[in-house]
Every structure is written in structure tokens, then in C-alpha cells.
Structure 1
Amino acid sequence: MGALIAIDRIVGKILRGIPVVCFVALFGILFVNVVSRYFQIWAFSWFDEIVEALFAYLVFLGAAALWRENEHFRIDWMEMALGRPFGPILRIVSVLLSMAFLAIMAVKGLDLTMRSRAATPILSVPTAYIYAVIPVSAAIMLVYSVRDFAVALLAAIKPSVKP
């Protein structure tokens, strides 16, 4: 169990770190691009490609980080309003629906990544590298959804357990 906790902490740091690095890089690139265009110093022909890739990684891995920590936007007032026994049942259904969505997202994202044969026009980076973040983030969120399902199931069985 200690090894899983250690792995989870490492995954958490990585999932928080990559979006922060992407955000800082986006800010820097956007700032330099605005300044260079204003003063007509030079033009970045590769600008759009880098911004697209950084933004994709920021969004998808940021979502996985929020999912891991249960900090994503979630409306749970209905679970609370229903109380026992229907609130925990609704939570289980909600987690199962999320798992179904994430499984489809992982499969379709992997299909998109595997079928991608294009490369970015300026830097010639295969677009599969950009698309790969979709199935990876979906798989990460799916793993944490399994954890959420187990917690929700335990909360439904044992009322003393908080989800």
C-alpha cells in the first residue's frame, strides 16, 4: 500500500508540474510574440504550433490533475439533498457514467493518435505526439475514477465512510 501512495504522490507532482510548465511557457511565448510584433523585430512562424501543443498538454493534463484530487467542477447538491440511501447510489451512478465517458475518450483518443500521419508544417513534429495526451489523460482519469468508484461503493455500504 505504501508503494501505491508513493506512486500516487509522484503522479500528482508530475500532473501538477507539467501544466504549470506549459502555462509559463505559453505566457513567455505569447509575451515575446507580442513584443516582437509590436516592435517589428522578427516573426515566429512556429508560434501557432507550439501554442497548440502547449495548450493541449495544459488542458488535458491539468484536467487529469484536478480529477486526481477531486478538485474538478462537480455539482453534488443533489447527492446531499437526496441523503441516505439515494445520495450514495447517485454518486455511484455518476462515477460509472464518468468511467464510461473516459473509457470512450481513451479508446477514441488512442484511435486518433494511431491514425494520425500528419506533421506540423513548420517544425515537422508528428501530430500524434500532440494527440497522445488525449488517451493518456483519459487513462489517468479512468484509474482515479476506479478509486472514486471503490470509495463511493464503500460509502454506500458503510455510512460512516465519507466519499
Structure 2
Amino acid sequence: MTALCRLDRAVGMVLRAVPTACLAALFALLLVNVAARTLQFSGFAWFDEVVQGLFAWMVFVGAAALWRERDHFQLDWLPGSLPPAQARLVRILICLLGIAFLVAMTWYGATLTLKARALTPILDLPTALFYVAIPLSGATMLAYSLADLSSLLFRSSPQKDPA
């Protein structure tokens, strides 16, 4: 196994572990919050801040995990109904459009993160901690999209890695 394959596997494990941990933490927080409110406890003032941060990380890193494994929602009827040469061109065009979107997402996400100076009202956490999930996930998805484009341009068909 090459170093690049080992790195890809490690990235894949992290991309699956982070959203899973966020979901587990969200579930635990929700359970504790419901129990506290049921027992007439006023709740936790910091609850909303933590939920927003965990949800942002879960969504963006989860999207990157799906992107890496090519498991995100996609319609492939058009490339599937075309002859191989035309289907390949359509896949290249779709990949280029995805790359354009990811460049914009990563750029504006990084700009938002760098400009964020606000602190959360209760925990005094920098809001940039929540926003940084956007450019990190965007850069990860961009790297995998560039690899997919390379595969489309220089191989006969992209390989789906089951890892």
C-alpha cells in the first residue's frame, strides 16, 4: 500500500469519525436537555451554541466524507444514457462545475472564517471555530474532485474506492 493510499484511508477514517462523534454528542446533549426540562430544570444557557457548532461540523465534514466516497446524491441518468465518449465529456463537465463551486465555497468560507471576530454570547467561543468547517471541508472535497478530474482525463473510467 502506497503512502498516498494510507493517507487517503486515514483521511477517510477522520471524515467518518468527526460527524459520527458530532451526532453522538448532539444526541447526548438533546437527551440531557430534554431530561432537565422534564424535571423542571430551566435548561442550559450554552445549549444552543454547542448544538450550532456540532451541527456545522457534522454537516460539512459529513459532506466531505460523502464526497470522498462518491456517495452524495447524484443523477447519473444522462451520462449513463450516452455513448462512452460523450458520457466521459459530460462527467468531465460535471466535475469542472463541481470544482468551480468548491473553489468558491472554500474561498468564501476562508474569508468568512478569517473575518469572524464575534464571540458566542455564553461560552465566549470564537465563531470562527464554527465557520472553519466550511473551508476545511471545501478544500478536502476540492482535492478529491481534482483527483476525480485527473482520473477522468487520464484513465478510461474513475475507480470507486470502497474504503
Match of 1:131? 131
Give the drift of 1:39: 1.4
Match of 2:16? 16
Is 1:33 paired with 2:33? yes
Aligned length: 159
Give the drift of 1:65: 0.4
**Distance in 2 between residues matched to 1:115 and 1:74, nearest whole Å:** 33
Match of 2:48? 48
Worse overlay, 60-69 or 30-39: 30-39
Q: TM-score, normalised by structure 1?
A: 0.94
Aligned sequence identity (%):
47
**Distance in 1 between residues matched to 2:58 and 2:147, nearest whole Å:** 24
Q: TM-score, normalised by structure 2?
A: 0.94
**Distance in 1 between residues matched to 2:23 and 2:136, nearest whole Å:** 19
Q: Which amino acid aligns with 2:4?
A: L
Match of 1:5? 5
Match of 1:66? 66
Q: Which amino acid aligns with 1:15?
A: L
**Distance in 1 between residues matched to 2:123 and 2:83, nearest whole Å:** 55
Give the drift of 1:154: 3.0
**Distance in 1 between residues matched to 2:17 and 2:145, nearest whole Å:** 21
**Distance in 2 between residues matched to 1:41 and 1:56, nearest whole Å:** 27
**Distance in 1 between residues matched to 2:43 and 2:73, nearest whole Å:** 39
Question: Contact (CA 8 Å) 2:148, 2:158: kept in 1 or not?
Answer: no
What RMSD in Å do the two structures reach over aligned CA positions? 1.2
Give the drift of 1:38: 1.3
| Structure 1 residues 1-46: Cα deviation after superposition (integer angstroms, max 9, x where no partner) | 7111111110000000000000000000001101111111342000
Match of 1:103? 103
Runs of 4+ residues over 6 Å off in structure 1 = none
Worse overlay, 99-108 or 76-85: 76-85
Q: Which amino acid aligns with 1:145?
A: S
Q: Which amino acid aligns with 1:126?
A: P
Secondary structure of the 2:36 match is helix
Q: Which amino acid aligns with 1:46?
A: W
Give the drift of 1:162: 4.9
Relative to 1, partners in 2 of residues 1:162 and 1:127: Cα closer, same or farther, differing over 3 Å? closer
| Structure 1 residues 93-146: Cα deviation after superposition (integer angstroms, max 9, x where no partner) | 000000000000000000000110000000000001110010000000000001
Give the drift of 1:83: 2.2
Give the drift of 1:150: 1.2
Structure 1 unaligned regions, length at least 5:
none
Structure 2 unaligned regions, length at least 5:
none
